[in-house]
Structure formats: structure tokens, C-alpha cells
Structure 1
Amino acid sequence: MDDEDGPAPTRLQRRSAALAERLPGVERSHQAQGDWDFWKVGGKTFLAHTALPGEPVVTVKVDPADGEGLRAQYPQITPGYHMNKQHWVSVHPGEQVPTEVLDELVVESYRLVVGGLRRDLRPVDPATFRPE
């Protein structure tokens, strides 16, 4: 991560949270047991934060083929921690995952979840939505 806002481990979570909170229809919740924060749209999670021993991680939903490619390209991207390993990835702190990739992961996760909602619950059209 090449963002200069604080130590690398916490930048990852701060950046993804700031982006998620700007997306339409998003709600944030906290689960004290396990110390998880969740960002949801239409009641469905698209972003999760927690801390593994010694490092905070960001977990997002992905298309399975994209997840496989991302895991092959970046050592800091692993199968989703405590999630379906095919449909979720976790991003660990490190210098190799560019901020643009993290941003794309958050937005694409949001689009995937919105696309799975009933049309009347969708805050945006996932096929055309692009954040400002």
C-alpha cells in the first residue's frame, strides 16, 4: 500500500472503510465477538475487517476466477479468512498490493453483492455504477 496515512497495517483498513462508507446504501456494523466490522448493502456483507494475530486484514467478495488470479499475483491476497474460500479473499498488509487494486476490490465486491439483491433493494445499478 502506497498511501501515507499512518502505519501500513492500519492504512489498509482505513482506506477500505473510507471508500465503503461513501458507497450508496451502505451500513456498518460491529460484532464484538471476534472483533469484526462489517459493511453491508441490502443487509448483505461486501466488506469485513478483523485482526489476525499481529495484522489487520480486509476481506471482500470476488468472482472466483478473479480471486484465483489475484492470489497468484499478490502474496498479500489469500483465500477469505473465515469466509467461503472460493468467493472471498483477504488482503493482508504489505507493500505489493497497490491502493488502486484495493479500491477496485472494494467497489467490485459492492457491485457483486448489489447484483445479487432483488431489484427493488438495489441502491444502484451494479452494471453501470462507478463511484465518484
Structure 2
Amino acid sequence: MKGRELQDAAREEAEELPASAMSHPFGPEYEVFKVKGKVFMLLTEVPGDPIVVLKADPEDSTALRESHEDITPGYHMNKTHWITLQPGETVDKRLVRELVTDSYRLVVAGLPQAEQPVDPETFGATTGRQG
């Protein structure tokens, strides 16, 4: 995927997620998506190319980086818990959408149950989204 296409796919997915909100807390060059005040995605071009930074389970993060050359450790984030999607051939729109939803679910799971906009165990299941 090209950079703009990568970010557009991620943005479109994030905007569809319940209680998702975008802001620019780090300046206009960073689009930050949060759920209930907690970051689950960051879009920027600061490193030179358009990138998407997402939260990921540490084991999944390692597997993703090993199997996709366009997925690297999180840019300016904890390298164990965050990944960066870069423009390239090893990431497609379907994978981007899945990874955005996974990042969102991980963050939602860390919220107090009363604040969770969806059930993180069932939301985004392969049979379709469920609340």
C-alpha cells in the first residue's frame, strides 16, 4: 500500500469504532485516535513517510514484524506494545483494518468495565462486529 492509502484505510476504520475520537494533542502533524481518552492509534508523516502506529499484543507484535517487512516497532512508542505500519507491499487494507480494530480492543480491555463502549472479547470477531 502507498502511504496515503495506508493512513486512509486506518482512519476510516478508526472513525467507525464506537467512542473513537481524533485529536491533535502533539501538534498538527500527529492525528491521535483515542477511546475514552486512551490512545489506540497515531498517524503521522514525521519520519518522512506516512505511517500508522498501533497498540499490539507483545506476542502478536513479534509475529507481525517477523512476517511483514513493512511492520516495525512502534515509532516513538514502547517497542514491546506498539507497532508501526509503513507503506509497502506486505500490508493490505484488510490487515490494516484488522490491526486497527485489534489495537482498539486492547485499549478498551484496559478500561474499567463500566467505561467500555464494547465487549473487547467479542467485538470485531471474524463473523462481524458485535457490541
SS of 1:31 mapped into structure 2:
coil
Q: CA deviation at 1:90?
A: 0.3
Structure 2 residue 65 is the aligned partner of structure 1 residue 71: yes
Distance 1:32 1:119 in 2: 28
Please state if 1:58 is matched with 2:52. yes
Aligned partner of 1:73: which letter? S
2:74 is the alignment partner of 1:80: yes
Write the distance in 1 (CA, Å) between the matches of 2:36 and 2:112.
9
**CA, structure 1 residues 74+118, in 2 after alignment: closer, same or farther (shift >3 Å)?**
same
Equivalent residue for 2:13? 19
Which of 83, 91, 101 does residue 89 from structure 1 map onto? 83
**Which residue identity is paired with 1:41?**
V
TM-score by length of 1: 0.90
Inter-partner Cα distance in structure 1 for 2:47 and 2:22: 23
Superposed CA RMSD: 1.4
Q: 1:33 to 1:105 in 2, by over 3 A?
A: same
Aligned mate of 1:112, from 106, 115, 120? 106
For residue 34 of structure 1, report the CA deviation from its aligned partner.
7.1
Deviations 1:32-54 (A, max 9, x none): 53711111001000010111443
Mapped partners of 2:24, 2:47: distance in 1: 19
Q: For residue 17 of structure 1, give the secondary structure of its aligned residue in structure 2.
A: helix
The residue type paired with residue 77 of structure 1 is I
Shift of 1:102: 1.0
**Post-superposition CA distance 1:100-127 (Å, at most 9, x none):** 1111100000000000000111100000
Q: What is the DSSP-based 3-state SS (H/G/I as helix, E as strand, rest coil) of the residue aligned with 2:23?
A: strand
Runs of 4+ in 1 over 3 A off after TM superposition: 31-34
| Secondary structure, aligned partner of 2:60 | helix
Q: Percent identity, aligned pairs only?
A: 45
* Separation of aligned partners in 2, 1:54 and 1:83: 17
Counterpart residue type for residue 27 of structure 1 = A
**What residue is the counterpart of 2:30 in the other structure?**
36
